[in-house]
Structure 1
């Protein structure tokens, strides 16, 4: 019972530590009670992921409809939208620049010998090329087509969040333009759905330590440490770049743009950050992020319901940074020196593709393939980074969610909201089992 009384973020941290130990102990072929341990962990982890993903569509629709209806005036909506897009573009650019500087300073791909000998390129590059060959610049343009779905229900079932967000924005906007007797009933319905989804989120998060343990232990058992040896320099370059954005850039923005304590903010959203690291999915973490930012940090539902769903879809600081570092690393491994102009092209494409590939499976690999093709690098170079992609995916997702939550706080403060991260350290809502 003592363990269950710990605050949620401590429970998840303990689960993470145990998961690493257990993952190394069982390995990829380990068994538990006669069953394949990795398969059992995957089953439990997938149950937790499914529970989170179950919440995404009704939560996004209800929160945006209620939030936009609460904003009301089109001038207020336009101002909030402009601030949100501007913040996301700024932080993604800062993240990419951090990655660009680190990869040029450390030069992880510059080694003695050939890339095949040192890094061990995947031999089955044909299958990889077949999967990604049809991805190109059209995927960037496709973002605009996905914004307006032909069928909202189909968009929801296929996880096309951009289309769902666009429809919800329109629905909420025009909810305030209909006669009051209809508007009141509609608003009460969507507000009720939002409150229900928050309560279900609370229930799911009680099982977060178990889900986190299963997801991380399964990943550690599958990857081990062997894959990291030849890619240690690349791995550390990405981690260092993410660390600059996480520990320096975002805290400075919180302090000087938001006027709040970065330590209090990180404490308030710690359950969301740990969930993001474990699930490697900004969308799956969205219910937890919204609960933390609204209830722990004190941001209004009006702001969280607009800024966070949009951020979970288009704000990919860690992903954009990773794409930039990966492409330049691959160029270095092949002995190709990219000019300043070409590196600028990589930066621009990383910024665009981090948004444009939202909703596409294996989004980062697709985005990297687009950039490789654009600058004339071999597509098979993706094989260099596959071994460590999963672990780095977990890290960059945590950075993505941190940026989303910081954006909600900064934008709320710019809108004149009060009581955000004040009156002592924020207290997580899931402090103990109820």
Structure 2
């Protein structure tokens, strides 16, 4: 009796409500709204016993900080394994040196455009002349940027680029914090990858292990990304509790100038560049938006790096071999928000506040520092460090940094979102110019349900195209 073939079972179509609830964008948006609401509620509850945070505020703080800690935990192993694996496969990528050069060139081009916008807004809006000097206090910065930081940052202090800092509280209790220098991690991974290339077949067992380790890390990373809405709720709720909006006060013009500059870069400059290279603006934003949202609420390019790299590869179609170099490197040196818009406007603000007239040479120096200065502060990169580097280069008072600390967390959300968008933009542009961009993947329809049945695979990312097979590296 001939065997009969049973038809494959068909999945029942999911309802519109289930698709909406499963959408990563909807989940993040709902977390944003709920986070603000819970933050406002926590502020209304007031402080707890003995001036301690009330339980709701403490819960939001714990959720947010724990999520950022989880993301940062994945950064070092991800960079190590991804860069080693990608360098070992460079023979599959033509013109690797040219790709690196093009990446640096476009880092500089976009930074030059961003700092030009910052200088224009700072001189046109005059935010430093619109403040009540009696309400602001100057203060020396705790960390000053230096041009030597770039050279010292290139030399690894240990195998994993780990750093340890200690601080003493008012009670005399000393606490130690372990961090990492991303630039050093990149250098270490690059050296190990090149060594594996030179060894040839003798390094194949090590490379096989590295590839397997990378898959395991990506799997764990995907689990972390899936709970991003919960982290968003905690991060934004805690921001509302801790900062609110009353600190804007007399610095409203400064904050407004910063966000106007950030908006011009993100929604005007980047779309123009995308369109000029024959790519869809809508596809770019739909592809990169999950990382931009997470960057906004987490205020950490490093914490967002794993997701930024994944959307660059899987949503925007940049080859993994190239993205695993360009995105981590960009996370330390490509910051149009922190290293271009912000230091330009902030330096002009400080000059106006102290009544110092800037010369043409000083404006040129602002542009120079913004274009190349982020590399000088790599590994210790932060907007405050970048600002101190700019002020010291211009000869402006460093105590002007203290004027802006009250609103730094508020502007930091926008700065980080633009940083993340730029870190995905440049690899996309370079890949398109070099003819290695996967246009089919870039133009593919974004899935409405990122947590579909196959989304548990490490290759899947929030908002990734459905039913699209990516060629293996």
Normalised to the residue count of structure 1, the TM-score between the two structures is 0.89
- Cα 1:429–1:331 change in 2 (3 A) is farther
Partner SS for 2:279: coil
- Cα 1:374–1:299 change in 2 (3 A) is closer
Cα deviation digits, residues 99-143 of structure 1 (max 9, x gap): 1111111111223xx7522xx2237x3xx35x24xx35xx22221
Structure 1 match to 2:234? 214
Structure 1 match to 2:466? none
Alignment of 1:10-409 (within 5 A): 10-27=26-43, 30=46, 35-72=54-91, 76-111=95-130, 115-117=132-134, 120-122=135-137, 125=139, 128-129=140-141, 131-132=142-143, 135=144, 139-155=146-162, 158-180=179-201, 182-257=202-277, 259-320=278-339, 321-360=341-380, 363-409=382-428
Q: After TM superposition, give the deviation of residue 165 of structure 1 in Å.
A: 0.6
Q: Distance in 2 between matches of 1:422 and 1:329?
A: 41
- Cα 1:96–1:72 change in 2 (3 A) is same
Q: Distance in 1 between matches of 2:449 and 2:370?
A: 36
Structure with greater Cα Rg: 2
Q: Is the 8 A contact 1:296 1:428 kept in 2?
A: no
Q: Is the 8 A contact 2:20 2:26 kept in 1?
A: no
- Cα 1:419–1:74 change in 2 (3 A) is closer
CA RMSD of superposed structures (Å): 2.5
Q: After TM superposition, give the deviation of residue 8 of structure 1 in Å.
A: 1.1
Structure 1: 5+ residue stretches without partners: none
Q: Is the 8 A contact 2:284 2:316 kept in 1?
A: yes
Partner SS for 1:377: coil
Q: Is the 8 A contact 1:115 1:333 kept in 2?
A: no
Q: Is the 8 A contact 1:29 1:36 kept in 2?
A: no
Cα deviation digits, residues 29-68 of structure 1 (max 9, x gap): 6369994332221111111011101100010011111111
Q: Is the 8 A contact 2:161 2:182 kept in 1?
A: no
Name whichever structure is richer in helix by fraction.
1
Q: Distance in 2 between matches of 1:9 and 1:144?
A: 41
- Cα 1:27–1:154 change in 2 (3 A) is same
Q: Distance in 1 between matches of 2:33 and 2:196?
A: 48
Cα deviation digits, residues 226-252 of structure 1 (max 9, x gap): 111211111111111111110111111
Partner SS for 1:89: helix
Structure 2: 5+ residue stretches without partners: 1-16, 164-177, 457-473
- Cα 1:198–1:368 change in 2 (3 A) is same
Normalised to the residue count of structure 2, the TM-score between the two structures is 0.82
Q: Distance in 2 between matches of 1:53 and 1:424?
A: 30
Q: After TM superposition, give the deviation of residue 431 of structure 1 in Å.
A: 4.0
Q: Is the 8 A contact 2:22 2:450 kept in 1?
A: no
Q: Is the 8 A contact 1:140 1:357 kept in 2?
A: yes
Q: After TM superposition, give the deviation of residue 331 of structure 1 in Å.
A: 1.2
Partner SS for 1:226: coil
Q: Is the 8 A contact 1:297 1:426 kept in 2?
A: no
Q: Is the 8 A contact 1:323 1:350 kept in 2?
A: yes
Q: Is the 8 A contact 1:92 1:317 kept in 2?
A: yes
